[in-house]
A and B are shown apart, each in its own frame.
Chain A
């Protein structure tokens, strides 16, 4: 029962989140996100030290992409390459990149 209530709440959150999210421009995002392709556009590309596969991003939540990039930019989340990249991004850049990643998932469905 509790699970059903939670699932229903989650569905509402997911359905409503595009309206709540900062509006990003996926076309501008595509241009800015070209840098990201060097690692995230290569399937199974490995991060070094520690060595692990860089995360999959297509279909990821827009809000999570935004909060992750902002956490890298502020230094709250640590990763040398991602902090260096995020340092160059404005709030609008971040919103546009997230919108582009989301639009990609919609295309692939």
Chain B
């Protein structure tokens, strides 16, 4: 009995976590990206206009959120990114992060 209650709670938490992960709307992110990000990063984040610009495709969603918020607040400094991030709402940032994280691109380092 107790076990099945715990299992239900655990399943509920997992579901909730799944929804939290999916809080960004990648379709809207794609639209925003094509208007705001694409000229430097490519619509899918696989292009870099300058050699020291990062590729974004396949980057972790939550890292992208932290990075964009840090640019918006000024904690992370880059003249171009600070000014673009100023115009982004929390939802814009979630949507963009959801979009870029879904694209094929960056991978995990392996140190075998």
Chain B nearest CB: distance from A87 CB in Å? Answer: 18
* A-chain residues with CB within 8 Å of residue B65 when the two chains form the complex: 52
Chain A nearest CB: distance from B98 CB in Å? Answer: 14
Select A43's contact among B51, B62, B108, beta carbons within 8 Å: B108
What is the interface of chain A, defined by CB distance below 8 A to chain B? 3, 6-7, 9-10, 13-14, 17, 20-21, 33-34, 36-37, 40-41, 43-44, 50, 52-64, 66-68, 76-78, 101, 104-105, 108
Judge if B47 is at the interface, Cβ distance under 8 Å. yes
The interface on chain B, measured as residues whose beta carbon lies within 8 A of the other chain's beta carbons, has a size of 30
* B-chain residues with CB within 8 Å of residue A14 when the two chains form the complex: 47-48
Judge if B50 is at the interface, Cβ distance under 8 Å. yes
What is the interface of chain B, defined by CB distance below 8 A to chain A? 38-39, 42, 47-55, 58-63, 65-66, 75-77, 105-111
Select A59's contact among B53, B62, B107, beta carbons within 8 Å: B107
* A-chain residues with CB within 8 Å of residue B76 when the two chains form the complex: 77-78
* A-chain residues with CB within 8 Å of residue B60 when the two chains form the complex: 44, 52-56
Bound-state CA distance A37–B63 (Å) is 18
Check A58–B52 contact: CB distance below 8 A.
no
Query: Which residue of chain A lies nearest to B76 when distances are taken between CB atoms in the complex?
Result: A77
Bound-state CA distance A63–B48 (Å) is 10
Check A10–B48 contact: CB distance below 8 A.
yes
* B-chain residues with CB within 8 Å of residue A34 when the two chains form the complex: 111
